[in-house]
Amino acid sequence: METPRNSLPLPMPIIEIIRRSEAAFASQWFNDLSPLLAKLLEWTLMFGIGYWGFGYGWILFFATVHFIKFRHAKEGLSDTICAKLSTLTSEKEVIGSSLEHFPSWVSFPDFDRVEWINDILAQLWKSIDGYATYFIVQYIEPEIRKILDSMALETVSGFKVQKIALGDVPARVGGIKVYNRNVTRDEIILDAEVIYNGDARVLFTLQGIKAEIRQINFRGTARITLKPIVNTFPFIGGFEIYFLNKPVLDYNLGGIGTFAEVPGANAIVKSVVEDQIRSRFVWPNRFRMFLPMDVITSRPNKSFLLSKPAGVLQVNLKEAKDLLKKDKGLTGSGLSDPYAVMSIGERKISFRNKYVPKTVNPEWNYIHEFIMEDSFGQKLMIDVFDFDNSTTDDFLGSIAIEIGNIVESQVYDEWMRLSQVKHGQLHLNAKWLKTEPITEDNANSFQSYVVSILIDSCKDLSKEGKNSLPSPRCKLTPSRGDPKMTQAKTKTKDPIFEESFLFFCHNASTDSILIKVVDSRGSDSLGQVRLPIDHLKNSPRGEYFDMNWDLDGGLNSSASIIISAKLFGVEVL
């Protein structure tokens, strides 16, 4: 098989050299001679700088690089030591020189200190090793293998996780905040700050070369919803969890990352880990689990699985003024081509294809509706960029606003100064539109709606006797708006998804949602069905549960999908 032209194969002799070098460097004689060898290398380097005519500036350059690297390593070690001390003594004795190390109960009075949870974590930490290894092997390792295979790096494609050692320093809960307002009766919502600055190590091999991830620093705020509340022990039927924003993650890559520097190894590992966290655990993505209790499995419907909107955040980014001028080249206009990106958590809406050319005072009128399940604790982020065809888009500033502030005022109309730049302002108009369930009395009282859809499961997606089973996933495409996808299920003709989605509906009479079931390993269609919103609106109380729909155009004429749905009306201010 020929190697693609754009591949970067690593010759096998280099692999062999790396393996033999690792064995030599681990020997006792090398440890004894290493101080002398280091001095010899230092003297040789200084001689070479003078012999080849390099100026003193090169010495300053290398000294600066060494200082930056040393400082980064020292900060990582400081975080680890601080976390270790916090497990041995009280937090008040460990509060150090930087506010970034403080737990949330120090910085935010509405977060409660929960040392009893940290005591439990410390005792359970060794027992969590098993699940940590399972998660890494199940989710991270396959993704890294796919990326290496797609890059056609045949000589470094043998990625395998060997061992997860969580070390002696447990993760900590910096604080917990429980919400008692704007929550339904069958759920409990709380925020927990998760902190880890410990001595965990992830040992892995890449084509037989040993490497490790170490000095892991992690910090993020997780929202945990305990639901449904039941009347039998343990009184809670399950939970769902997600991070409000992308957690802060940093670590050092040892072995190949510092010695052989296999091309892109550090970047590949870090990007895969961050992508997995974002795609599975950062809002609107989430992890959920429900207990196999009779009181849960015997429920006549699965309404507790349906996402329930608290309201719609309607954002209108009207205009900007006094932005930075980025097109200053020989052919530049001396202005900018600005556009904006709105985001809440991992839901990002880019208006790059609607940039305004050659101006620093653009009039945009960008409009988007964010459907929110919770109106508290999250931020609306707006980043402004200068559009460029040939180079990376230049950053022109950003703003962040607490969604809770918009909810309190219901209408927010302000000029806001851009941060991280010298000058520039945005004119933001935002409205909070409440939602309420549809009933027989109010079904026709709304101009727009929110549709909550639960993709429960599919049956008979392929015929009996088919050589290979499909790996199905569902793609939901509304009449207007962006499509959404379920997670893929591996090699099954009867997948169980139990994933819920929210869609904004402008016109219930004409809008619909097209659901396609596809094989994630290829482009084969396993069937599709179109759900008219008008049918849901005319159903009793605007809802139906466990409704069986036939799938058309698939591999099996008897294929079907089970769906639950509920309609919510959007109030107009």
CA–CA separation, 501 and 507 (whole Å): 18
Are 162 and 290 in the same domain? yes
pLDDT at residue 55, rounded to an integer: 67
DSSP state of 101: G
Q: CB burial class (10 A; 0-12, 13-18, 19+) of residue 26?
A: exposed
Nearest-10 crossing angle of helices 265-281, 141-150: 130
Which two structure tokens, joined as six digits, stand for 338? 């600005």
Domain's final residue, options 437, 466, 481: 437
Residue 459 belongs to a domain: yes
Domain check: are 335 and 277 in the same one? no
Asked if the structure places residue 522 within a domain, the reply is yes
Boundary residue ending a domain (299, 334, 353): 299
CA distance 5 to 1: 12
CB 206 within 8 A of CB 260: no
Give the list of residues 6+ apart from residue 92 with CB closer than 8 angstroms, or none: none
Residue 529: give the domain boundaries: 448-570
Residue range 303-353, pLDDT digits in tens: 888 899 999 999 999 999 999 988 765 555 578 999 999 999 889 999 999
Q: How many CB atoms lie within 10 A of CB 445?
A: 12
d(CA 472, CA 474): 7
Q: What is the pLDDT of residues 550-572, one digit of tens each?
A: 999 888 889 999 999 999 999 98
What is the distance between the alpha carbons of residues 539 and 437, in angstroms, rounded to a whole number?
A: 13
Mean pLDDT of all residues in the chain? 80
User: What digits encode the pLDDT tens for the residues 184-201?
Assistant: 778 899 999 999 888 888
Is the CB of residue 454 less than 8 Å from the CB of residue 563?
A: yes
Sequence-distant (≥ 6) Cβ neighbours of residue 127 within 8 angstroms = none
240 in a structural domain: yes
Helix (H) or strand (E) holding 145: helix 141-150
Q: Which residues contact 61 (CB under 8 A, 6 or more apart)?
A: none
Asked whether 400 and 428 are in contact (CB, 8 A), the reply is no
Any domain includes 257: yes
Q: State yes or no: pLDDT of 425 exceeds 50.
A: yes
Indicate if 468 and 419 belong to the same structural domain: no
245, burial (CB in 10 Å: exposed 0-12, middle 13-18, buried 19+): middle
Please determine, for residue 546, whether its predicted confidence score (pLDDT) is greater than 60: yes
DSSP element (H, E) containing 527: strand 525-532
% of the chain surpassing 70 pLDDT: 73
Query: Are 340 and 412 in the same domain?
Result: yes
Dist CA 312 CA 448 (whole Å): 11
* Other beta carbons within 10 Å of 97: 7
Which of 87-96, 144-153, 224-233, 533-542 has the lowest average pLDDT? 87-96
Shared domain check, 470 and 384: no
Does some domain include residue 67? no
In a domain, 51, yes or no: no
Q: Are 4 and 152 in contact (CB under 8 A)?
A: yes
Residue 34 lies in a domain: no
> In this structure, what DSSP letter does residue 147 have?
H
Residue 50 exposed, middle or buried by CB count within 10 Å (0-12, 13-18, 19+): exposed
Tokens 């009996």 belong to residue:
464
* Domain's final residue, options 299, 324, 351: 299
Statement to judge: residues 526 and 379 lie in one domain? no
State the DSSP code for 388: -
- Identify the residue with better confidence: 141 or 282: 282
Nearest CA among 150, 369, 178 for reference residue 271: 150
Q: Are residues 432 and 459 in the same domain?
A: no
Give the chain's domain count.
3
Residues 356 and 418 in one domain: yes
Please check whether residues 432 and 452 belong to one and the same domain: no
Q: Is residue 216 pLDDT above 60, yes or no?
A: yes
Q: Output the pLDDT for position 326.
A: 84
- Angstrom distance (rounded) from CA 513 to CA 536: 11
Per residue, the 3-state secondary structure of 150-204, as one string, reads HCCCHHHCCEEEEEEECCCCCCEEEEEEEECCCCCCCCEEEEEEEEEECCCEEEE
Q: How confident is the model at residue 491 (pLDDT cuts 50, 70, 90)?
A: confident
Residue 352 counted as domain residue:
yes
pLDDT for 28 equals 62
Length of the chain: 573
Q: Tokens for 287, please give them.
A: 């992890």
Dist CA 118 CA 87 (whole Å): 8
Q: What percent of the chain clears pLDDT 90, i.e. is strictly above it?
A: 35
> Are 431 and 455 members of one domain?
no
Residue 392 tokens read as 């990376």
CA distance 289 to 298: 16
Q: Which helix (H) or strand (E) holds 78?
A: helix 56-88
Dihedral pair phi/psi, residue 118, rounded to 5°: -65, -35
Start-to-end C-alpha separation, the chain: 64
Closest CA to 237 of 294, 185, 189: 294
CA 284 to chain centre: 9
- The CATH number given to whatever domain includes residue 561 is 2.60.40.150
346 and 263, same structural domain?
no
- 239 shares a domain with 91: yes
